[in-house]
C-alpha cells in the first residue's frame, strides 16, 4: 500500500493493520466534492474512501476511526476512575455512617451543585490540548457523584442484613465485611451504573470537544470532528453525519449493555413477562416437545 503525502502532523500515523490512510494523509479527491465511495447499488462497493473526503482530501473514515479511538479512551478512563472514586466514597459513607457519612455526603453535594459541563470546560481548557488520558483524568474528578450516592444507599441497606450480623459475630473485620460480604451483593447495581456513567462520559467529552475545550488539534475526537465540519452540513453532510452516527451508536450500545447487565445481575429489576409473552413461550415449548403445554392463569 502506497502512502500518499501527508499533513505536517505525521505523529498520528496510519490506523494499524487494516486501513491504508492516516487521519493526516492528503490524497486527490476521488468523487465530486469528496462524496463517499461506499455504494450498495449492484452489490456492496467500498472504494477508496467509503466515508468520503473533506475539502483538502483527508479520508473521513480514518478521521472517524481515530476520533472513535480517542473518544473511547476518554470514556473508559472516566468510567473506571469515576466508578472507583464513587465506590470508595459511597462505601465508606454508607458503612461507617455518622460524622464520616455527613462529611463525605456534604462534599458530594457540593460537587453535584457545580455544573459538570462548566467544570469540564475549565479543566478541559487547562489540560485538553495535552492528551486524551490527561483530559479523562480531569473529567473523572467531577463525574463520580452519582456512583457515590448510589453505592452509599446500597451499603446503608445491606449493612443491616442478617449475613452482615453473622460476619460480625464471627469476628470479621470492617474491611472484610465491606469487601467480602457487602460489595459482592452490590456489584450488580455498580456495574449497571458504571455503564451508564460511560455513556454520559462520551457525551460529555463530545460536548467539550465540540465547544473547543476537549481534545485539541492536531489530534482528533468525534466531538471536534462535528465542530470542524458543522459548516458543511448543508453542502457535504457526510462530513457531519458519520461522527454523529458513531456517537449515537456508541451511547446506545452502552445503554443496551447496561440494561442487559441490570437484568443479569439485579433480579429485582427484571421485567415481569406479560400474559401474551407467557403464551408465546408456552406455544414454543409445545412445538419443541410435541406435548401440549398448559398455560398458566
- 51-55, 223-227, 242-246: range with lowest mean pLDDT: 51-55
Structural domain includes residue 44: no
Residues forming beta bridges with residue 59, ordered by sequence position: 53
* Nearest in space to 193 (alpha carbons), one of 268, 261, 249, 137: 261
CA within 13 Å, CB half, 239: 23
Better-scored residue on pLDDT, 131 or 166: 166
Through-space distance between the first and last CA atoms of the chain, rounded to whole angstroms: 66
CA 32, chain centre distance (Å): 36
Query: What is the Cα–Cα distance from 290 to 214, expressed in whole angstroms?
Result: 61
Confidence of residue 292 (pLDDT cuts 50, 70, 90): low
What confidence score (pLDDT) does residue 8 get? 39
- 61-70, 84-93, 217-226, 265-274: range with lowest mean pLDDT: 265-274
Average pLDDT of 239-261?
86
**Which CATH number characterizes residue 215's domain?**
1.10.3720.10
Structural domain includes residue 175: yes
Structural domain includes residue 10: no
Cβ–Cβ under 8 Å, residues 186 and 151 = yes
Structural domain includes residue 171: yes
Confidence of residue 83 (pLDDT cuts 50, 70, 90): very high
Residue 197: domain span:
60-269
* 8-state DSSP, 292: P
Task: Name the 3-class secondary structure at 59.
Answer: strand
* 8-state DSSP, 179: I
Structural domain includes residue 294: no
* 8-state DSSP, 25: B
What confidence score (pLDDT) does residue 26 get? 64
What confidence score (pLDDT) does residue 34 get? 67
Better-scored residue on pLDDT, 294 or 282: 282
Cβ–Cβ under 8 Å, residues 12 and 23 = yes
Confidence of residue 210 (pLDDT cuts 50, 70, 90): confident
What confidence score (pLDDT) does residue 153 get? 92
How crowded is residue 137: how many other Cβ atoms within 10 Å of its Cβ?
16
What confidence score (pLDDT) does residue 4 get? 40
CA distances from 186 to 157, 162, 279 (A): 10, 15, 34
Please provide the size of the chain in residues: 297
What confidence score (pLDDT) does residue 99 get? 92
What confidence score (pLDDT) does residue 272 get? 61
Residue 27: which region, alpha, beta or left (left: phi > 0; alpha: psi -120 to 50)? beta
Structural domain includes residue 128: yes
What total of structural domains would you count in the chain?
1
Supply angle C-alpha 91, 97, 99, rounded to 5.
120
Structural domain includes residue 287: no
Task: Name the 3-class secondary structure at 6.
Answer: strand
When the pLDDT of each residue in the chain is averaged and rounded to a whole number, the result is 79
Structural domain includes residue 66: yes
Task: Name the 3-class secondary structure at 4.
Answer: coil
What confidence score (pLDDT) does residue 5 get? 40
* Nearest in space to 189 (alpha carbons), one of 230, 157, 232, 142: 157
Amino acid at each position: 500500500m502506497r502512502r500518499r503525502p501527508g499533513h505536517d502532523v505525521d505523529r498520528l500515523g496510519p490506523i494499524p493493520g487494516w486501513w491504508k490512510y492516516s487521519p493526516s494523509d492528503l490524497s486527490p479527491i476521488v468523487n465530486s466534492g469528496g462524496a463517499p465511495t461506499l455504494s450498495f447499488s449492484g452489490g456492496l462497493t467500498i472504494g477508496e474512501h467509503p466515508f468520503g473526503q473533506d475539502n483538502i482530501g483527508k479520508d473521513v473514515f480514518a478521521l472517524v476511526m481515530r476520533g472513535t479511538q480517542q473518544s473511547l479512551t476518554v470514556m473508559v478512563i472516566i468510567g473506571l476512575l469515576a466508578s472507583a472514586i464513587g465506590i470508595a466514597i459511597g462505601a465508606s459513607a454508607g458503612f461507617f455512617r455518622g460524622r464520616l457519612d455527613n462529611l463525605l455526603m456534604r462534599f458530594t453535594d457540593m460537587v453535584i451543585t457545580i455544573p459538570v459541563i462548566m467544570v469540564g470546560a475549565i479543566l478541559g481548557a487547562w489540560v485538553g490540548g495535552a492528551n486524551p488520558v490527561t483530559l479523562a483524568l480531569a473529567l473523572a474528578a467531577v463525574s463520580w457523584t452519582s456512583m457515590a450516592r448510589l453505592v452509599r444507599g446500597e451499603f446503608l441497606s445491606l449493612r443491616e442484613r442478617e449475613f452482615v450480623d453473622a460476619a460480625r459475630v464471627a469476628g470479621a473485620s470492617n474491611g472484610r465485611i465491606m469487601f467480602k460480604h457487602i460489595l459482592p451483593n452490590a456489584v450488580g447495581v455498580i456495574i449497571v451504573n458504571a455503564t451508564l456513567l460511560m455513556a454520559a462520559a462520551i457525551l460529555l467529552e463530545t460536548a467539550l470537544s465540540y465547544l473547543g475545550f476537549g481534545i485539541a488539534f492536531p489530534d482528533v475526537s468525534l466531538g471536534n470532528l462535528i465542530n470542524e465540519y458543522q459548516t458543511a452540513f448543508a453542502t457535504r453532510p457526510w462530513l457531519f453525519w458519520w461522527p454523529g452516527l458513531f456517537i449515537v451508536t456508541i451511547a446506545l450500545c452502552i445503554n443496551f449493555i447496561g440494561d442487559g447487565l441490570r437484568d443479569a445481575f439485579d433480579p429485582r429489576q427484571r421485567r415481569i413477562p406479560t400474559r401474551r409473552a407467557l403464551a408465546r413461550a408456552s406455544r414454543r415449548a409445545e412445538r419443541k416437545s410435541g406435548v401440549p403445554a398448559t398455560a398458566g392463569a
